[in-house]
């Protein structure tokens, strides 16, 4: 098995594991969502949980350190989280839009730095 095949297999495994953990993440993020809304509290813990999940790098190509997920995967993540906590999902739509813009733009030092931040779980 070549190193390229091993890398692709590991990347596929990381993506599969991250998506398999999505229902539990949605459940965690949804806990007390209605009460937070009433109290007008921002969902900081929910964003921490999302950050730990690694799904912020979902659309980053695997060869650049991301999960290499599809656009369909990103929509699935946002809609699954929206069912649990709409405020988090709304913010993540913006995140995925920025990631997509960076992903599709010509590579520059700025774009490379931002991609590294996404892969490094800054968000």
Q: What is each CA distance from 9 to 2, 27, 43, 58, in whole angstroms?
A: 11, 28, 34, 16
**64 in Cβ contact with 72 (< 8 Å):** no
Q: What is the pLDDT of residues 92-122, one digit of tens each?
A: 999 999 999 988 999 999 988 888 888 876 5
Q: What are the domain boundaries of the chain? A: 3-119
Q: Kindly state the DSSP code that residue 28 receives in the 8-state scheme.
A: H
Predicted local distance difference test score (pLDDT) of residue 118: 84
Q: Kindly state the DSSP code that residue 94 receives in the 8-state scheme.
A: H
Q: What is the pLDDT of residues 45-88, one digit of tens each?
A: 999 999 999 999 999 999 999 999 999 999 999 999 999 999 99
Predicted local distance difference test score (pLDDT) of residue 121: 60
pTM of this prediction?
0.84
Q: Hey, how many other C-beta atoms are within 10 angstroms of the C-beta on 49? A: 18
Specify burial of residue 106 (Cβ count, 10 A radius: 0-12, 13-18, 19+). exposed
Report whether pLDDT(11) > 90.
no
Superfamily of domain 3-119: Acyl-CoA dehydrogenase/oxidase, N-terminal domain (1.10.540.10)
């Amino acid at each position: 098995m070549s190193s390229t095949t091993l890398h692709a297999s590991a990347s596929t495994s990381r993506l599969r594991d991250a998506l398999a953990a999505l229902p539990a993440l949605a459940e965690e993020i949804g806990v007390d969502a209605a009460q937070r809304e009433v109290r007008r509290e921002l969902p900081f813990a929910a964003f921490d949980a999302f950050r730990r999940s690694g799904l912020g790098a979902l659309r980053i190509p695997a060869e650049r350190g991301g999960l290499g997920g599809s656009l369909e995967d990103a929509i699935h993540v946002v809609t699954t989280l929206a069912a649990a906590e709409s405020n988090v999902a709304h913010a993540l739509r913006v995140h995925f839009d920025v990631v997509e813009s960076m992903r599709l733009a010509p590579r520059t030092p700025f774009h490379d730095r931002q991609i590294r931040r996404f892969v490094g779980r800054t968000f």
